[in-house]
Structure 1
Amino acid sequence: MLISLVRTVVMYVAILISVRLMGKRQISQLQTSELVVTLLISELAVMPIQQHDDPLWNGLIPMLVLVVCEIVVSLLMLKCGKFRQAVCGNPMIVIQNGRVLQDQMRRLRMSTEDLFEELRQAGAFALEEVAYAIVETNGELSVLKKSAADSLTPKQAGVNVPEEALEVVVISDGRISQHSLKLCGKDPHWLREQLKCQGTELSEVFIMTARTDGKQLIIKKQPKGG
């Protein structure tokens, strides 16, 4: 029992490291090569856990090889466009100028139900609203609505709006995030000054956010049972 527990923890850590080395992506965003490697790593991780007679290296070494292969393939795709097309394919237009391209849908083996489901998820609930729809290499559907059906932007309405500002959490449950402070261009001295101006101690803060435009928000902790 103890051996199975130790092997499971070791393989879990190995998978985390492997995924971290390959980069951060959601399952729906995986390219073909990344999906293949992810599935193979999952299979390789199970073998050493179930087969106690086999050394862990029998699973760890193939996982390392797969990660290295994926990194090499990713670098090649960055350097060579033709190689990337061969591995990942090309984006395919399924709706052009409001017209459904049936040949393209047949090539993708995409049903009309799948198409309309993807359109609804993209916020297009009527086919006549869509100008272009493109199936990306990761399988996601990108939708460009017609101007008459799209949301009106402040620029189109001639309205001046304030510039965008990044907001980050600099204090979470009484703990300072140095990384978040750097993101908004602040430092611990600025943070202490803000808390002093508000008459608040660090231990009393549940959430404090800071924005790149200088604004901040402080939410104090609630008393227990309150």
Structure 2
Amino acid sequence: MFTVLIRTIILYAVVIGAMRLMGKKQIGQLEPFELAITIMISELAALPMQDTRIPLLHGIIPIITLLTLQTILAILQLKSETFRKIINGSPSILIENGKIDIQELKYQRFNINDLMEELRLQGYYNISDVEYAILETSGQLSIIPKTELTPATKQDLHLLTKVNVNITQDKLPVTLILDGKVNFENLKLIKKDVSWLKKNLKRNDIEEFKDVFIALIDSHGKLYFQNYLGKTKGD
């Protein structure tokens, strides 16, 4: 009995340590590969707890191996957008301009009842009120409402006191540089070229793309970037 107690304490400490090293994501926000590793770790820890004939190391070594694998995959995802897409997939747009993408809905095996429930949970009862609904790689649904339905901020209230304010619809942010690598497809999407991007970065004292951690066109159509030193700029 005492042996089981000690084994349980040791394995519990190992699992808690492994989960802490994996990061601070909640279970509902885990990517598919992270969820798979989490389930496998729990199973590996449970077996030596239940069966004292199994050597303790036979539970600890696989847990450490999985933790190492998860760390390697996480590093590779930070370094390569292509690898990140292979492992995690890409976000899917289920609603665009107030219209449901039926084909994408079927492809993601996401039925209309689930979609409507997610909208209601976030306070939107009409599909026409939603500009974009995006199914993230973690399985969560992100919603961008139409501009006129976006909750007002103090800045909005101040702006609305002015005369002849032009309200434009927020658009989906487009990533142009990630971890020093230019996304040429997204540049074509916004009908810009590398020269335009380089010129705008040079105006902000950025000479090389490799110095940029992230650069994107935000929902208001403005260029935003952050370099590796933490400098940010909304252009």
User: Which shifted more, 146-155 or 73-82?
Assistant: 146-155
Q: Does 1:111 align with 2:111?
A: yes
Cα distance in 2 for residues equivalent to 1:88 and 1:122: 24
- CA shift for structure 1 position 28: 0.8
Deviation string, structure 1 residues 29-82 (Cα, Å, up to 9, x no partner): 001111010000011001101110121000000000000000000000000111
Question: Secondary structure of the residue that 2:117 maps to in structure 1?
Answer: helix
- CA shift for structure 1 position 149: 1.9
Structure 2 counterpart of 1:99:
99
Higher Cα Rg: structure 1 or 2?
1
Cα distance in 2 for residues equivalent to 1:10 and 1:23: 21
Cα distance in 2 for residues equivalent to 1:141 and 1:39: 23
> Does the CA contact (< 8 Å) of 1:91 and 1:135 recur in 2?
yes
> Does the CA contact (< 8 Å) of 1:96 and 1:131 recur in 2?
yes
Q: Does 1:17 align with 2:42?
A: no
Structure 1 counterpart of 2:8:
8
- Supply the AA of the counterpart residue of 1:107: Y
Cα distance in 2 for residues equivalent to 1:157 and 1:21: 44
Across the two proteins, how many residue pairs are aligned to each other?
160
Question: Secondary structure of the residue that 2:131 maps to in structure 1?
Answer: strand
Q: Does 1:81 align with 2:66?
A: no
Map of 1:28-177 to 2, 5 A cutoff?
28-158=28-158
Structure 2 counterpart of 1:187:
none
Question: Secondary structure of the residue that 1:59 maps to in structure 2?
Answer: helix
Runs of 4+ deviating beyond 2 Å: none
TM-score between both structures, scaled by the size of structure 2: 0.66
CA RMSD of aligned residues (A): 1.4
> Does the CA contact (< 8 Å) of 1:134 and 1:141 recur in 2?
yes
Q: Structure 1: 5+ residue runs without aligned partners?
A: 160-226
- CA shift for structure 1 position 98: 0.3
User: Which shifted more, 58-67 or 5-14?
Assistant: 5-14
Deviation string, structure 1 residues 171-212 (Cα, Å, up to 9, x no partner): xxxxxxxxxxxxxxxxxxxxxxxxxxxxxxxxxxxxxxxxxx
Structure 1 counterpart of 2:230:
none
Deviation string, structure 1 residues 60-118 (Cα, Å, up to 9, x no partner): 00000000000000000000111100000000000000000000000100011110111
> Does the CA contact (< 8 Å) of 1:122 and 1:142 recur in 2?
no
Question: Secondary structure of the residue that 1:109 maps to in structure 2?
Answer: coil
- Supply the AA of the counterpart residue of 2:39: L
TM-score between both structures, scaled by the size of structure 1: 0.69
- CA shift for structure 1 position 148: 2.1
Q: Structure 2: 5+ residue runs without aligned partners?
A: 160-235
